[in-house]
Structure 1
Amino acid sequence: MRKQIHQTTHSDREVPGGRRLVLEFHAGGDPIPAILLLPRDARPAPGVLLLHGYSSRKEHMAEGVGGSLLRHGLASLAIDLPLHGTRADPLQAQAARNPLALVGLWKQALREAKLATRYLAARPEVDAGCLAIAGYSLGSFLSVMTAADDASIRAVVLAAGGDLPGGTPLAGIARAVADPVRAVRKLSGRPLLMVHGRQDRTVRPEQAERLFAAAGEPKELRWWNAGHLLPPQAIDYAGEWLRDRLG
């Protein structure tokens, strides 16, 4: 039996094209801070869950990808992952360097991403039959794992994401906990967009190519003349792509 989701809204104001809500929600666990952007249209809108990268925060995703989606009439929910944004805790972050603690944090992040999808679908302003997920870097790994286990997610965008790096003693252990290749094969015909920088040295181009090769159709890999930080044009392209896939 699923636990009921509770929310607290801290602010709700108008922005160009719609509304911006700062809130938190939970289902008995830690409160998850979030920014919800809703189009002004009275009809339920497609919704996209946004997952940020390592050392980033919900504001970066809401102001970048979320703003682009809002201009295209799509709702979005950006959350702070554990130990990020308003949840940052230097002492806990130091303790989390332990491999077992890292595995626990990864599993917590996955649970929270799944809960965030449920919360987004439950909003009356959002079309629960028209959901997608978009992740950046670390968030892209979480996104493909979340989508693999949730058939309600109709489209996936991975920015600066790919397969795990190889050639290290920990690679096999990491893949036992989180395998993007195995996950991407479970998308079962749902559209996938990958946007990546040709000079990315954090998630290298060959990692993106390995994950893309493992994915089924329909899929698209779009390259940009950039490093790990993708240009605004890549964000706008992803926004248009999601608008076309979600209607």
Structure 2
Amino acid sequence: MLTFRCRRSGGRAEGSGCSWQDGFGYPAAQGGAEPFFGHNVTETGFGENTWRHNVPLLGWVLGAGVLLWLGTTGLVLLSFRNPRKPHARTPAVKGLGFEEVRFPTKGGKMLYGWFVPADGEPEKRSVLILVHGWGRNVERMLPYMPFLHQAGYHLLTFDARGHGSSDRDGYSTVLKFAEDIRAAVNYLETRPEVDAGRLGVLGLSIGGAASILATAWDERLRAAVTVGAFAHPADVMRDSFSRFFLPYIPVGWTVLKFVEWRVGRSLDSIAPENAIRQRSFPVLLIHGEADRVVPVEHARRLHQSANRDNVELWIQPGRGHSNCHLEPGFDGRVVGFFDTHMAELDTVAETSAGGQGARA
């Protein structure tokens, strides 16, 4: 193998002292040449045609690399567009009466939902807002309705923007889900049968993460239950890149920056593990230990970040991302959590008014 060596004088390489040497340090034959991309190089430098022929080749290589990078990034972004599928069943299949409703959210968009009134005489009652996950719709919340309705709560569930029968609005994000939850709160304040001072929220997956954001930012929401919520959106996206063997640099990094640009905020500013520190509120974090979509470590991080006086962590062995509600005792624990924290509000009201507060 030939190497190109130069003698130095005063820290500068002397052109006339440069030559090719073989692997033993002996000078190569005069005029010897070392191939470079198929072209000869003389002892004083590269052949005059080398760069002229190879710069275009390098340009094609770089161009192909950029196209591959942009194409892969584009495909990843397309994969983040949630499927949009209207519901096929209604609360009627559970024997529940309901009202189809529509109400506005940010950007002038309209949300579709169901209001399920509690049984009994019309009166102001507590309301639980039920929030589905990414790519789902109101139908996903049907398994939760019977036991929460039986506990005496009004219920409201809705299709988040870009889902089900609600308006489209570009890419779905945890911020948009949180904004839609707050829009639901605004809507509930207009209904006479609702006690707007006692509102809770139960959310699944991204809906659970958004429930933390909305409750941290809006004091009208008193308590939250989450199932499979993530701690930070960037970490969920990085996990997705790893599952599909996509390099973080440059594809993953580009996707994250694009998302931040579209959201108009840094992902740190909308991370549930950061928001949960901003206000102390009761929260029950439920997570399947075998969850492969949002690893259980996210629940532990949320628990570490929250005010320990108000947070409960329930990790279910063997459960995954979408079956935690099948765990024995699930109904009772969720109802007990909401009953406890709604009852605390009644106690405060009784003390302040010196009278009796009605429990929903």
Q: Identify the TM-score tier after normalising by the shorter chain.
A: 0.7 to 0.9
Q: Structure 1 residue 245 and structure 2 residue 324: aligned?
A: no
**Could you tell me how far 1:74 is from its partner in structure 2?**
0.8
The aligned counterpart of 1:185 is 277
The aligned counterpart of 2:206 is 138
**Could you tell me how far 1:107 is from its partner in structure 2?**
4.4
The aligned counterpart of 1:51 is 131
8 Å contact 2:227–2:287 — kept in the other structure?
yes
The aligned counterpart of 1:227 is 320
The aligned counterpart of 2:7 is none
8 Å contact 1:191–1:218 — kept in the other structure?
yes
In structure 2, the CA distance between the partners of 1:40 and 1:147, relative to structure 1 (3 Å rule), is same
In 2, the alpha carbon distance for the partners of 1:87 and 1:210 equals 32
The aligned counterpart of 1:213 is 304
What TM-score, normalized by structure 1, do the two folds share? Answer: 0.79
In 1, the alpha carbon distance for the partners of 2:313 and 2:176 equals 29
What TM-score, normalized by structure 2, do the two folds share? Answer: 0.56
In 2, the alpha carbon distance for the partners of 1:240 and 1:30 equals 35
In structure 2, the CA distance between the partners of 1:183 and 1:79, relative to structure 1 (3 Å rule), is same
The aligned counterpart of 1:153 is 221
Q: 1:32 aligns with which of 107, 111, 114?
A: 111
In 2, the alpha carbon distance for the partners of 1:69 and 1:207 equals 26
Query: Alignment length, in residue pairs?
Result: 223
Q: 2:288 aligns with which of 187, 197, 202?
A: 197
8 Å contact 1:74–1:243 — kept in the other structure?
no
Q: Is 72-81 or 179-188 further displaced after alignment? A: 179-188
In structure 2, the CA distance between the partners of 1:12 and 1:201, relative to structure 1 (3 Å rule), is closer
Q: Which amino acid aligns with 2:326?
A: P
In 2, the alpha carbon distance for the partners of 1:132 and 1:111 equals 15
In 2, the alpha carbon distance for the partners of 1:224 and 1:88 equals 35
CA-to-aligned-CA distance 1:61-92 (integer Å, 9 cap, x gap): 1x122222101001111110112112487xx8
**Could you tell me how far 1:183 is from its partner in structure 2?**
0.8
- Unaligned segments of structure 1, at least 5 residues: 1-10
- Looking at CA atoms only, which structure, 1 or 2, has the larger radius of gyration? 2
**Could you tell me how far 1:177 is from its partner in structure 2?**
4.9
Q: Which amino acid aligns with 2:217?
A: D
Give the structure with the larger strand fraction: 1
In 2, the alpha carbon distance for the partners of 1:65 and 1:121 equals 23
In 2, the alpha carbon distance for the partners of 1:219 and 1:106 equals 21
In structure 2, the CA distance between the partners of 1:175 and 1:201, relative to structure 1 (3 Å rule), is same
8 Å contact 2:175–2:270 — kept in the other structure?
no
In 1, the alpha carbon distance for the partners of 2:295 and 2:138 equals 24
The aligned counterpart of 1:4 is none
Q: Which amino acid aligns with 1:52?
A: H
**Could you tell me how far 1:176 is from its partner in structure 2?**
3.3
In 2, the alpha carbon distance for the partners of 1:231 and 1:147 equals 22
In structure 2, the CA distance between the partners of 1:106 and 1:156, relative to structure 1 (3 Å rule), is closer
